[in-house]
Amino acid sequence: MNWKISLALILSISIIIPATSQQEKRVKNVIMMIPDGTSVSVLSLARWYKYGICPADNTCWLTIDKMICGLVKTHSSDAPIGDSAPTGSTYATGYLSKSGYIATYPKSSGKNKDLVPIDPKRAYQPLFTILEAAKINHKSTGLVVTCQFPHATPADFSAHTPHRDQYDLIAKQMVYNHINVVFGGGTKYLDPLKRDDKENLVTVLKNRNYNYVTKMADFKKLQSSDSLVWGLFADDFLPYDIDSNKDSIPSLSEMTDKALQILTKNPDGFFLMVEGSKVDWAAHNNDPVGIVSEFIAFDKAVETALNFAKKDGNTAIVICPDHGNSGMSIGGPRTARGYDTLSIGSITTPLTNCKYTADGLALKLISLSDINTVPKVFVENTKISLTVAEQDTLKALVKRGVAPLSRKIAKIYTEHSYVAFTTTGHTGEDVMLANYHPHNYRLSGVVQNSEVNTYMMDVLGGKSLDTLSNKYYCIDSLTLKGYAWQIIPNVTSKNYATLVIRKDAKSKKRAEINAFTDFVTVFDGKKEIKKISLNSVAVFISEEKEKISRFYIPKLLGELLEKEI
């Protein structure tokens, strides 16, 4: 063979192989699944729990088991033990942040506390999320959760604020952020009578052609052609899976399946985040029944997603908790001796006998008309023999409400089982990593939580999140240089404001942007001329202690308005 031809062939191979390899990495769809606050020990307990109710071993593995490929080192920018807001935000944005921060660049906690380099010039800048990037790339987007929809993890992918508890403004951002599918709880956060800005967000959704459903019957009627859907099935968060009325509230698996039916109709693909929100809540309550049953409900959603991905052939799945919680272990003070002789039944039966989580049973006991029947109903639903002191305590706590009664029930569950806890707070150990890719391009080993975002962006392709953050979340003073502009505080709430922009101080024409919306309104005097849509929400940050009041808006907005005002 001619050497020139041989060289050309070798060079062509060296070029083609990387291109093919890169092409095989790419997928149209990514599903991220987060079992919030799930320590690795939860998987072992869930597996044994399943064994206790289906003794044939080959049916008792978790769906997630064969996908597990490593561990995630998950922490905040300034603390080894993370809060859900910054750790979920890291998955969404690729940046470690600090407690309370939702997809927002952190303020430095000081060089002796920061665990990663922090650029002080970027403090409080909204960070573009993978969901927002997918939207820019014409993909459909979805959020499926069992908590209230503006809670930390769903907010991490679709809103921006340094204060995770600002549910009303988070809800507003999510409504205006063009998410195709949202399933979960939280109708009250759309209600003008319960919102701090008095805006009717249900009306906003309907005006934007969303199908808004709150009933199971309407949920079942949803078709794959319904490309814009919000489904909220409780005033606040959804009940635990085993406490739930399956005829009125869809399971996490059912919501995941419905979301996939809708999102897959987009030929450009989709990004979907699914959260098993209340594993974390049960762990905070040290409720072993709540923890294990919620994780099994999450694993059923994993099965739904995996079945879809295998059939689709163009979908990657990433599964990892945002942090650990509670220090739960199989084994505790009661197993200091004789641990190696405990039967599987002695470990699982105390849990499988319980028909409700601690919260669910507390609600049932509070609903009883005769307080003296509390011990009897408790035993009927748990098969736990109560001491006289425990009976008296439960009857007394019924009068004090769900929270204290639930804590006591969880304590009884634990004391009568072989499960133990070290804390009611989060924990700092590495969490499990599971990954599916149609061409087996997977993360493995121990990875930093920011690397999970890097991987997802890699397989989806598109521009870097930093580029998008700087393009769409530029500080007002830079974008509007040369304009006459001011921030007008909202009379109802300090959390909101309006950005008013004029060509100069004497101009009759002006543009206005209301905080956390995605459009600019142009006026000539009192007359509204037009509305201009943006590809992002306008984020308003107000920090009184630091005397900060600013808008983050698209960098090219100034050029756009030059033709309008």
Domains and CATH numbers, the chain: 18-328+423-471 (3.40.720.10), 330-420 (1.10.60), 473-562 (no CATH)
For residue 229, give the nearest of 196, 269, 265, 198 by alpha carbon. Answer: 265
121 is written with which tokens? 């010039």
Tokens 């995605």 found at: 518
402 is written with which tokens? 């769900």
Q: Is 485 helix (H, G, I), strand (E, B) or coil?
A: strand
Residue 19 has a pLDDT of: 37
Contact criterion met (CB below 8 Å) for 322 and 82: yes
β-sheet bridge partners, residue 427: 324
Task: Give the integer Cα–Cα distance in Å for 457 and 273.
Answer: 14
| Burial group, residue 549, by CB count within 10 angstroms (0-12, 13-18, 19+) | middle
pTM score of the predicted model: 0.94
Distances 306 to 49, 256, 316, 361, 476 between C-alpha atoms, Å:
22, 11, 9, 33, 44
Q: Is 236 helix (H, G, I), strand (E, B) or coil?
A: coil
Contact criterion met (CB below 8 Å) for 252 and 204: no
pLDDT band at residue 18 using 50, 70 and 90 as cut-offs: very low
Give exposure, 481-511, as e/b (b: 16+ Cβ within 10 Å).
eebebeeeebeebebbbbbebbbeeeeebbb
Is pLDDT at 484 greater than 60 in this prediction? Answer: yes
Residue 59 has a pLDDT of: 67
Is pLDDT at 14 greater than 80 in this prediction? Answer: no
pLDDT band at residue 54 using 50, 70 and 90 as cut-offs: confident
Mean pLDDT of 42-68: 86
525 is written with which tokens? 């005097």
pLDDT in tens, 237-285: 999 999 999 999 999 999 999 999 999 999 999 999 999 999 999 999 9
pLDDT in tens, 458-473: 999 978 999 999 999 9
Contact criterion met (CB below 8 Å) for 129 and 143: no
pLDDT in tens, 329-340: 999 888 999 999
pLDDT in tens, 384-430: 999 999 999 999 999 999 999 999 999 999 999 999 999 999 999 99
For residue 174, give the nearest of 235, 242, 230, 227 by alpha carbon. Answer: 230
Query: What are the DSSP E strand ranges found in 397-468?
Result: 419-420, 426-427, 431-436, 445-448
What percent of the chain has a predicted confidence (pLDDT) above 90?
A: 90
What is the chain's percent helix, strand, coil content, to nearest 5?
A: 40, 20, 40
Taking each continuous run of H as one helix and of E as one strand, the counts in the chain are 20, 22
The catalytic residue positions are 84
Q: Which long-range contacts (CB under 8 A, 24 or more apart) does 393-398 make?
A: 394/365, 395/371, 398/365, 398/366, 398/368, 398/371, 398/374
Task: Give the integer Cα–Cα distance in Å for 115 and 500.
Answer: 39
In sequence order, what DSSP letters do the residues of 182-213 get, joined into one string? Answer: EEEE-GGGG-TTTSTT---HHHHHHHTT-EEE
Q: Helices in 96-200 by DSSP H: which ranges? A: 130-136, 152-158, 167-176
User: Tell me, what DSSP letter sits at residue 102?
Assistant: B
Task: Give the integer Cα–Cα distance in Å for 503 and 482.
Answer: 8
Is pLDDT at 6 greater than 50 in this prediction? Answer: no
368's CB contacts (< 8 A; 6+ apart) are: 374, 377, 398
The 10 Å Cβ neighbour count of residue 369 is 5
Task: Give the integer Cα–Cα distance in Å for 80 and 73.
Answer: 9
pLDDT band at residue 9 using 50, 70 and 90 as cut-offs: very low
Q: Is 388 helix (H, G, I), strand (E, B) or coil?
A: helix
Residue 58 has a pLDDT of: 60
pLDDT in tens, 204-244: 999 999 999 999 999 999 999 999 999 999 999 999 999 99
Average pLDDT along the chain: 94
Task: Give the integer Cα–Cα distance in Å for 32 and 304.
Answer: 13
Task: Give the integer Cα–Cα distance in Å for 358 and 349.
Answer: 16
Mean pLDDT of 542-551: 93
Task: Give the integer Cα–Cα distance in Å for 29 and 26.
Answer: 9
